[in-house]
Amino acid sequence: MTTRTRILTGITTTGTPHLGNYAGAIRPAILASQDANADSFYFLADYHALIKCDDPQRIQRSRMEIAATWLAGGLDVNRVTFYRQSDIPEIPELTWLLTCVAAKGLLNRAHAYKASVDKNVETGEDPDAGITMGLYSYPVLMAADILMFNAHKVPVGRDQIQHVEMARDIGQRFNHLFGNGKEFFTMPEALIEESVATLPGLDGRKMSKSYDNTIPLFTSAKDMKDAISRIVTDSRAPGEAKDPDNSHLFTLYQAFASKAQEEEFRAELLQGLGWGEAKSRLFQLLDGQLGEARERYHQLMSRPSDMEDLLLVGAKKARAVAAPFLAELREAVGLRSFVNQAAAPVAAKKKAAKAARFVSFREDDGSFRFRLLAADGEQLLLSRHFADGKAAGVVTKQLQSGDALDVRTEALGFSVWLDGSAVADSAGFADEASRDAAIEALRVALTPLED
């Protein structure tokens, strides 16, 4: 029997979906959910929305608009599990269990937190000015979303790859501390869809609410037509040949047209089709494809109780998975009933908790690296870049071999060398005493090391 791949996607509820959201995320996800080998979980990430937005009306409106958009777009709730994050009380409880094993050093390296700190420093503010614990611990909540349902694949943009890697780190740490030989959490993989469209907006930049250049998806046909009329084009008059490959309008048309429609439209632009008529053709194409879905959207928005019922059914399906799994995790960490409690192998647990571990990951440029983390999760080493995972694996095995370490100090840091080449580096330290203590901790961690 073929194991179904579990795919999980969260949609943050802070805005109204536009045409770029639909082409880039919603449409491909709905198509993927129709795969018989996929077990798809889609959720409204409304806890995440609270990190970014403190307007209750906006969050409530966005939850409804995004739910209606996915349902109107053809999401089959009988094939997938579609739910609100806030309807799953096991999620915040798992978040706390994971928070208790997540290393602060790991969260310090989160891109969003570091960017906020850097911005504060640049403007002369206190480094943590305006930074909430929600923003800081966002990666742990995302890890709980993913690990609760043991997702195999998590479709994300490149800016979110780090969060999936952090979910792996935190999940591995939990398994290591409490698994006693059992792997509670599946290690998720980021799924980057290179072929997914990133649509240009009215001005040619990426379609985004922050640029105010979006084309409405389901608000009304008039709104869509008005937006299309504002697409920036060049000054070539009707009758003059247009350049489809450098036309934002053509790129938008291409994202929704069949091959035959695309070729016909390209030929007409090369033959001098006027921009006004070209915009009319784009509206007709989009209206033809999205008109029925727009009607379904407005029906759903006028009957919120129907959406509420569907989401509660989805929450029931999700909790049927989450509740028994959380009970296992509570048992594992010692939150057990006083009746019939099983004796925990304390000695074995303590021994396992002392071990350091390697964590491998892949950079955006395709290279492979690893971290050596101490038992408390703090980073002892960060490797150099390797062309492939096998080469990185060979180095980790050599470091675990028990051979004498070639450690070379460099100012207030150090590097580890193998066969005449530097393979990994430490962080910088405040003074030589701290650096030397870290070298000793490294030697202890590698004598011996459990992988």
Residues contributing to the annotated binding site for ATP? 12-14, 20-21, 157-159, 199, 206-210
Angle at 29 between CA 19 and CA 62, to 5 degrees: 55
Residues 6+ apart with CB under 8 A from 199: 19, 20, 23, 24, 206, 207, 251, 252, 255
Widest distance between CA atoms in the chain:
85
Rounded Cα distance between 380 and 105, Å, is: 11
**Helix orientation angle between 259-270 and 275-302, rounded to the nearest 10 degrees:** 140
Amino acid identity of residue 162, one-letter, is Q
Looking at the DSSP bridge assignments, the partners of residue 416 are 407, 424
Q: Are strands 5-12 and 38-45 parallel, antiparallel or unpaired?
A: parallel
Looking at the DSSP bridge assignments, the partners of residue 155 are 191
Rounded Cα distance between 418 and 21, Å, is: 48
- Are 185 and 148 contacting, i.e. CB atoms less than 8 angstroms apart? no
Alpha-carbon distances, residue 241 vs 26, 235, 267, 386 (angstroms): 35, 11, 10, 49
Residue set of the binding site: 12-14, 20-21, 145, 157-159, 199, 206-210
Rounded Cα distance between 95 and 369, Å, is: 27
Peptide bond into 56 cis (omega under 30): no
Rounded Cα distance between 252 and 65, Å, is: 23
Residue set of the binding site for L-tryptophan: 145
Exposed/middle/buried for 418, CB within 10 Å: 0-12, 13-18, 19+? middle
